[in-house]
């Protein structure tokens, strides 16, 4: 379920501040965020 949410957020927040936004949303989003940078 978390992965599904992540996929949806990744499409909507595919900018640069999405990393900061996902930071407080879920820890499983951090890896992708870090890889983006």
| pLDDT tens sequence across 7-19 | 666 655 555 555 5
Domain span at 13? 2-36
Q: Is the dihedral of CA 17, 20, 25, 27 positive or negative?
A: positive
Which band of pLDDT confidence, cut at 50, 70 and 90, is reported for residue 26?
A: low
Count, residues in the chain: 37
Neighbours of 29 (CB within 10 A): 22
**Whether 30 contacts 23, CB under 8 Å:** yes
Phi, psi for residue 22 in degrees, rounded to 5: -75, -15
Neighbours of 18 (CB within 10 A): 18
What is the pLDDT, as a whole number, of residue 1? 45
Q: How many domains does the chain have?
A: 1
As a whole number, the mean pLDDT across the chain is 55
């Amino acid at each position: 379920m978390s992965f599904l949410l992540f996929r949806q957020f990744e499409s909507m927040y595919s900018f640069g501040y999405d990393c900061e936004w996902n930071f407080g949303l879920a820890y499983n989003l951090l890896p992708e965020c870090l890889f983006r940078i």
